[in-house]
Structures are given as structure tokens and as C-alpha cells.
């Protein structure tokens, strides 16, 4: 059951450059999407979210883009910083019927100096 | 900043034993969740809890699992008879309004459960 997929298990980006993390989903009932960041031995930390009525949401260095027709969302981090190195999870929700988050498998981002 | 706490950080148990994982959600939150992450796999939803009852549960959450809010602060996950495949990181989360209405879920640091 891979309703939310992150096809890149890892990504390496130089400090100061843009990091782009991608996520695809198959369930058209999902209407709210979130990105979480996770460090080792810690729980996921909420980063940013987007409702399906929008196609972009920005918060500081983080921007999430949603392409509903392609069932695709992406997280842009500009500029990338070494402290951004972590595993990033995409998650989706059907706000009409459920409170559970469906997570992707995660992308490990490494920001190098 | 308020945070979700979980105890213990690591629990080792023998197969067939009962375990109770404890969580203290953020104090003014009303919705509570348990998720788990088996090593190398994605985070999976187990159960959500609101107004002293289960509001949703996944297929993983079978009769071996139960949740309880025994007092005004703790939220527990009990596994009655642990199996090897229950070995995972268990995360508790809470939110102040229902996710999707703008309320994000705040996660605790997790309890690593090892079943031998």
C-alpha cells in the first residue's frame, strides 16, 4: 500500500544551494499535505503544510508546491544549510474522513559544506 | 515550548510479554495518536483517540493493542502479547484541533521497542 511515495531515498546538496524533495501520491481523496523533518533518535517535526485548494505555500526558507493534476508535491529549501541535514517525510491526509497521516518512505537530505 | 514526551526511550521485552508505552501529550491538546516505524520502513498510523474513545484505527491495530487515557495527562499504548514483528519505534503524537482543520500533529521522541 504505497499511497504516498518518495522515490529518492537520498539527496546531497551543497550549502547555499536549493534542495528539492519530491513526493507523489495515488489517492485522489487526499486533500491536505505535510512535510516533516526527522533527526535520528527524535520524532518527526512538522515543517510546512498545504491544502489542496492551494498550489503553493511558503514559510521562510521552505516552500511547498502542489500539482494536483500530477498528484505531485515538492518541498524546496532555499538556501540549504548544514542543519537541514535530516530525513524528510511527506505525509497526506483525507480531511473529510480521517485524522491519520499517511507517510512516504522519506528522503535523507545531506547538506554539504 | 510545549512538547510531547514518551517513556521509556527503549524497552526490551520477551516475546509473549505485555508492554505498556507511555506518552504525555501537550497539555491543551485533545486529539492523540500512535504511529510506529519498523526499521527501514515508513511511519505507519496505528490509532487515533479523541474524547476518551478510539476515533480511527489501522489494520495493524488488532486485538493485541489497546489505548487508554488513564488520567488527565497520560496516554498509553498496551501490547498484550508481544511478537517479534512488533519490534519498532513507536511514536505518540497530539494535536489541538483535528488534523486537516489546520492543526498539525506534534510528535514525541519515540520509544524503541525490541522484542526478543
pLDDT tens string B12-65: 999 999 999 999 999 889 899 999 999 888 899 999 999 889 999 999 999 999
- Which residue, among A103, A93, A33, A92, has the nearest Cα to A63 in the 3D structure? A33
**Helix (H, G, I), strand (E, B), or coil: what is residue A84?**
helix
Torsion sign over Cα A5, B96, A52, A85: negative
| Residue B66 per-residue DSSP state | E
d(CA B37, CA A76): 25
The answer, for A31 touching chain B at a CB cutoff of 8 Å, is yes
Q: Longest C-alpha distance within chain B, in Å? A: 41
The pLDDT profile of chain A, 113 residues, written as one tens digit per residue, is 679 999 999 999 999 999 999 999 999 999 999 999 999 888 999 999 999 999 999 999 999 999 999 999 999 999 999 999 999 999 998 887 778 899 999 999 999 99
- List CB contacts (< 8 A) between B91 and chain A: 43-44
In this prediction, residue B102 carries a pLDDT of 62
Would you tell me which residues 51-90 of chain A have a C-beta closer than 8 angstroms to some C-beta of chain B?
Answer: 89
- Residue indicated by cell numbers 489517492: A27
Shortest CA distance from A44: residue in chain B: B107
Distance of CA B62 to the CA centre of its chain: 14
C-alpha cell at B30: 485533545
| Residue B104 per-residue DSSP state | P
d(CA A91, CA A80): 21
Shortest CA distance from B46: residue in chain A: A100
In this prediction, residue A99 carries a pLDDT of 80
Distance from CA of A111 to the nearest CA of B (A): 21
Q: Say which of A89, A100, A102 has its CB closest to residue B48.
A: A100
Distance from CA of B10 to the nearest CA of A (A): 11
The answer, for A95 touching chain B at a CB cutoff of 8 Å, is yes
**Helix (H, G, I), strand (E, B), or coil: what is residue B57?**
strand
**A9 contacts A69 by C-beta, under 8 angstroms:** no
Torsion on CA atoms B81, B84, B85, B90, rounded to nearest 10 = 70
What does pLDDT average to over chain B? 92
Confidence band (pLDDT; 50, 70, 90) for B73?
confident
pLDDT tens string B82-106: 999 999 999 999 998 766 666 688 9
- List CB contacts (< 8 A) between B58 and chain A: 100
Distance from CA of A78 to the nearest CA of B (A): 23
Amino acid at each position: 500500500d504505497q499511497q504516498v511515495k518518495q522515490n529518492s531515498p537520498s539527496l546531497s546538496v551543497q550549502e547555499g544551494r536549493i534542495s528539492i524533495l519530491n513526493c507523489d501520491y495515488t489517492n485522489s481523496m487526499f486533500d491536505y499535505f505535510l512535510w516533516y523533518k526527522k533527526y535520528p533518535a527524535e520524532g518527526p517535526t512538522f515543517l510546512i503544510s498545504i491544502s489542496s485548494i492551494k498550489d503553493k505555500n511558503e514559510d521562510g526558507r521552505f516552500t511547498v508546491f502542489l500539482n494536483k493534476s500530477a498528484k505531485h508535491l515538492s518541498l524546496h529549501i532555499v538556501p540549504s544549510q548544514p542543519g537541514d541535514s535530516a530525513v524528510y517525510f511527506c505525509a497526506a491526509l483525507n480531511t473529510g474522513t480521517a485524522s491519520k497521516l499517511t507517510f512516504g518512505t522519506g528522503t535523507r537530505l545531506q547538506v554539504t559544506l | 515550548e510545549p512538547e510531547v514526551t514518551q517513556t521509556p526511550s527503549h524497552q526490551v521485552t520477551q516475546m509473549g510479554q505485555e508492554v505498556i508505552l507511555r506518552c504525555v501529550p501537550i497539555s491543551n491538546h485533545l486529539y492523540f495518536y500512535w504511529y510506529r516505524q519498523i526499521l527501514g520502513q515508513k511511519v505507519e498510523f496505528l490509532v487515533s483517540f479523541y474524547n476518551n474513545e478510539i476515533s480511527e484505527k489501522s489494520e495493524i491495530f488488532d486485538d493485541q493493542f489497546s489505548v487508554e487515557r488513564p488520567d488527565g495527562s497520560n496516554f498509553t499504548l498496551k501490547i498484550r502479547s508481544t511478537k517479534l514483528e512488533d519490534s519498532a519505534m513507536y511514536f505518540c503524537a497530539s494535536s489541538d484541533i483535528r488534523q486537516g482543520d489546520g492543526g498539525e500533529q506534534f510528535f514525541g521522541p519515540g520509544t524503541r521497542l525490541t522484542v526478543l
